[in-house]
Amino acid sequence: MDDIIFGKNSVTEALISGKREINKILISKNIHTDNKIEKIKELAKERGIVFQFVAKEKFAEYAEFNHQGVIAQVSPIKYTDFDEFLELPHENSSIVILDGIEDSHNLGAIIRTCVCAGVSAIIIPSRRNVQVNSIVEKTSAGAINHIPVIKVNSLMNAVQKLKENNWWVIAADASAKDNYYNVNYTDMNFAIIMGAEHAGVSKSLLKASDFIVKIPMENNFNSLNVSNALSAIIFETVRQKLTKGQTRK
Amino acid sequence: MDDIIFGKNSVTEALISGKREINKILISKNIHTDNKIEKIKELAKERGIVFQFVAKEKFAEYAEFNHQGVIAQVSPIKYTDFDEFLELPHENSSIVILDGIEDSHNLGAIIRTCVCAGVSAIIIPSRRNVQVNSIVEKTSAGAINHIPVIKVNSLMNAVQKLKENNWWVIAADASAKDNYYNVNYTDMNFAIIMGAEHAGVSKSLLKASDFIVKIPMENNFNSLNVSNALSAIIFETVRQKLTKGQTRK
């Protein structure tokens, strides 16, 4: 299942970005054409990509996904090499590190949030974390084509390497003393570690981090969804960068 | 399907909050007991609620949900009356208004975010919006029991009534000129309107709003998930309230 992209928006995004090699596009004979389908056909023609109209039976195996009658068969996602990424010039850049995210929808939402907030890369571990599958691609609404994803064997090694390269490492943890908005994010390269839905960031990574921050919670109700927690933190970093030097309103 | 709650955490939350009348709890004979199941049994006993161990066949009709072998049969959710809510004392309070949210997972995540951020109520329209169903309850991780949900026939009437009662109304819209963090949220009662996943906030509501704000987007990639967009905005309001009077770091 890792080699298809489904849904009108995701297929369109993949065609526009050109970052994934598309082998073939399948369109169900049973769906009504609309602007989006016409756009997909047009883009496919421009790029010399085959599209086929197929009987709905062909889509039976994808019944559990909301494919909207459109599927692209693609080459597997190309992960970015960590060392190559580090060698690029970085200035006031940010990375998001995911420590054990299990839910595909959460990973998709996180990828969208990262692209919208201008994050430079996402690092996931090669084990004990959901990988970039079709559901992630779909939930990301095509955002996966706009951000490098780096897969590493050891998050701990990755964190050490980031620190050696003068990146600051910030972990989000519910029991932290400091609130996330009290860190100044405007003048450094930084990585934010978000933990698993239940377990949070692992102890060894918390220990290796330069800062540990929390989101202040009302109502003693401490169970923000991980993608929503990331959104609060990452857009605070955006706010700080965009308002730097301005008088506070 | 609107009268069951499924999953260990959701059932536990419902038992603790006591806000939903629980008729019966069903536990599958086929699951291994654990701390959470024991806690559910203990709470049910304390509250005089019947729990039954049933064969897994009994759970067949709920197969599409991640019920974890635990279901509570409950009375339907009690919506809060809008007029009664308005008559309560409010000071620096916030409301979230949802204009046409279609996805149950999004509504669940929004409810969690609202409870964590101390929002006073959520307003949804009685039509063209997902209602509070079992998936919403599950995704909300029990948060639904900690916040009043108000259902209104007309969002426009609700917005007018809020304005008459000195609430400020702020709509989120991608084409707004002002960034969301340039509004001062610290000294007023305010309502934030979030729009449907695709269509956004309806034009008539935008027109009726006191402010329209956007989240600045990098990469020209303007498709933040609605729950993530709300999270960025609502935690900015929390940040402003908590740092009011402090020197900016």
Interface contact A224-B181, CB threshold 8 A: no
Confidence at residue A117, expressed as pLDDT on a 0 to 100 scale: 96
Measured between alpha carbons, how far is A68 from A55 in angstroms, rounded to an integer?
14
Q: Residues with Cβ < 8 Å from A45, sequence gap 6 or more?
A: none
Question: Which long-range contacts (C-beta less than 8 Å, at least 24 apart) are formed by A29-36?
Answer: A29/A53, A29/A54, A29/A55, A29/A56, A30/A55, A30/A56, A30/A69, A31/A68, A31/A69, A31/A70, A36/A8, A36/A9, A36/A12
Q: Which superfamily, per CATH, for A4-74?
A: Ribosomal protein L30/S12 (3.30.1330.30)
Q: Which is more confident, B158 or B30?
A: B158
Least-confidence region, from A40-44, B122-126, B133-137, B187-191: B133-137
Q: Closest Cα partner for A200 from A233, A222, A169?
A: A222
In chain A the first and final C-alpha atoms are separated, in Å, by 50
Query: Do residues B249 and A248 lie in contact, with contact meaning Cβ atoms separated by under 8 Å?
Result: no
* Of the partner residues A116, A224, A248, the one whose CB lies closest to the CB of residue B113: A224
> What ipTM does this complex have?
0.80
Question: Which long-range contacts (C-beta less than 8 Å, at least 24 apart) are formed by B83-90?
Answer: B85/B120, B85/B121, B85/B148, B85/B150, B86/B161, B86/B162, B86/B165, B90/B120, B90/B167, B90/B189
Q: How far is A94 from chain B (nearest CA, A)?
A: 13
% residues pLDDT > 90 (chain B): 58
Q: What angle do CA B224, B225, B230 make, to 5 degrees?
A: 90
Q: Which is more confident, B139 or A152?
A: A152
The model's pLDDT over B94-115, given as tens digits with 9 standing for 90+, comes to 999 999 998 888 999 999 999 9
* Of the partner residues B109, B224, B234, the one whose CB lies closest to the CB of residue A225: B109
Confidence at residue B58, expressed as pLDDT on a 0 to 100 scale: 81
Residues paired with A53 in a beta bridge? A27
Q: List b or e across A121-142, with b for residues whose CB sees 16 or more CB atoms inside 10 angstroms.
A: bbbbbeeebbbbbbbbbbbbbb
Confidence at residue B105, expressed as pLDDT on a 0 to 100 scale: 87
Measured between alpha carbons, how far is A128 from A46 in angstroms, rounded to an integer?
40
Confidence at residue A112, expressed as pLDDT on a 0 to 100 scale: 94
Mean pLDDT estimate for chain A: 89
* Of the partner residues A142, A181, A219, the one whose CB lies closest to the CB of residue B115: A219
Least-confidence region, from A166-170, B102-106, B218-222: B218-222
The model's pLDDT over B30-45, given as tens digits with 9 standing for 90+, comes to 888 889 999 999 999 9
Tell me the average pLDDT across B6-13. Answer: 88
Q: Closest Cα partner for B240 from B120, B109, B94, B95?
A: B94
Least-confidence region, from A103-112, A214-223, B185-194: A214-223
pLDDT bin (cut points 50, 70, 90) of residue A249 is: very low
Q: Closest Cα partner for A11 from A29, A31, A26?
A: A26
Measured between alpha carbons, how far is A179 from B238 in angstroms, rounded to an integer?
11
Tell me the average pLDDT across A53-76. Answer: 83
Tell me the average pLDDT across B24-29. Answer: 90
| A231: helix, strand or coil | helix
Q: Taking the CB of residue B82, how many other CB atoms lie within 10 A of it?
A: 18
Query: Do residues B40 and B25 lie in contact, with contact meaning Cβ atoms separated by under 8 Å?
Result: yes
Query: Do residues B175 and B43 lie in contact, with contact meaning Cβ atoms separated by under 8 Å?
Result: no
Q: Closest Cα partner for B74 from B139, B29, B148, B7?
A: B7
Query: Do residues A75 and A51 lie in contact, with contact meaning Cβ atoms separated by under 8 Å?
Result: no
Tell me the average pLDDT across A223-232. Answer: 93
Domain ranges in chain B are 4-74, 82-243
Residue B60: exposed, middle, or buried by beta-carbon count in 10 A (0-12, 13-18, 19+)? exposed
Q: Closest Cα partner for B109 from A17, A148, A110?
A: A110
For A246, which residue in chain B has the nearest alpha carbon?
Answer: B182
Confidence at residue A107, expressed as pLDDT on a 0 to 100 scale: 92
Please list every residue in chain B whose beta carbon sits closer than 8 Å to the beta carbon of residue A116. 215, 217-219, 221-224
Measured between alpha carbons, how far is B23 from B180 in angstroms, rounded to an integer?
44
Q: What angle do CA B99, B182, B179 make, to 5 degrees?
A: 55
* Of the partner residues A117, A141, A248, the one whose CB lies closest to the CB of residue B248: A248
Q: Which amino acid is at B45?
A: K
**Is the pLDDT reported for residue A150 higher than 90?**
yes
Please list every residue in chain B whose beta carbon sits closer than 8 Å to the beta carbon of residue A228. 109, 112-113, 227-228, 230-231
**Is the pLDDT reported for residue A1 higher than 50?**
no
Confidence at residue A247, expressed as pLDDT on a 0 to 100 scale: 55
- pTM value is 0.82
In chain B the first and final C-alpha atoms are separated, in Å, by 50
Measured between alpha carbons, how far is B237 from A22 in angstroms, rounded to an integer?
44
Interface test with A, best of B106, B231, B241 (most A CBs within 10 A): B231
Measured between alpha carbons, how far is A150 from A166 in angstroms, rounded to an integer?
18
DSSP A248: P
Q: Which is more confident, B16 or B193?
A: B193
Confidence at residue B247, expressed as pLDDT on a 0 to 100 scale: 55
Q: How far is B49 from chain A (nearest CA, A)?
A: 25
> What does the H/E/C string look like for A54-93?
ECHHHHHHHCCCCCCCEEEEECCCCCECHHHHHHCCCCCC
Q: List b or e across A37-61, with b for residues whose CB sees 16 or more CB atoms inside 10 angstroms.
A: beebeebbeeeebebeeeeeeebee
A82-243 fold: Alpha/beta knot (3.40.1280)
The model's pLDDT over A128-144, given as tens digits with 9 standing for 90+, comes to 888 887 778 778 877 88
Measured between alpha carbons, how far is A224 from A230 in angstroms, rounded to an integer?
10
A125 to A83, A88, A130, A158, B249: CA distances (angstroms): 15, 21, 9, 10, 34
Confidence at residue B1, expressed as pLDDT on a 0 to 100 scale: 42
Confidence at residue B231, expressed as pLDDT on a 0 to 100 scale: 98
B193 to A234, B29, B109, B206: CA distances (angstroms): 22, 45, 16, 9
Query: Do residues A103 and A33 lie in contact, with contact meaning Cβ atoms separated by under 8 Å?
Result: no
% residues pLDDT > 70 (chain A): 98
For A147, which residue in chain B has the nearest alpha carbon?
Answer: B219
Residue B236 sits at φ, ψ, to 5 deg, of: -65, -40
Q: How far is A17 from chain B (nearest CA, A)?
A: 12
Confidence at residue A132, expressed as pLDDT on a 0 to 100 scale: 82
The model's pLDDT over A73-103, given as tens digits with 9 standing for 90+, comes to 887 778 899 999 999 999 999 999 999 998 8
Least-confidence region, from B29-33, B85-89, B154-158: B29-33
For B239, which residue in chain A has the nearest alpha carbon?
Answer: A181
Please list every residue in chain B whose beta carbon sits closer than 8 Å to the beta carbon of residue A112. 221, 223-225, 228
Would you mind telling me the total number of residues written for chain A in this entry?
249
User: Token pair of B158, please?
Assistant: 């609700």
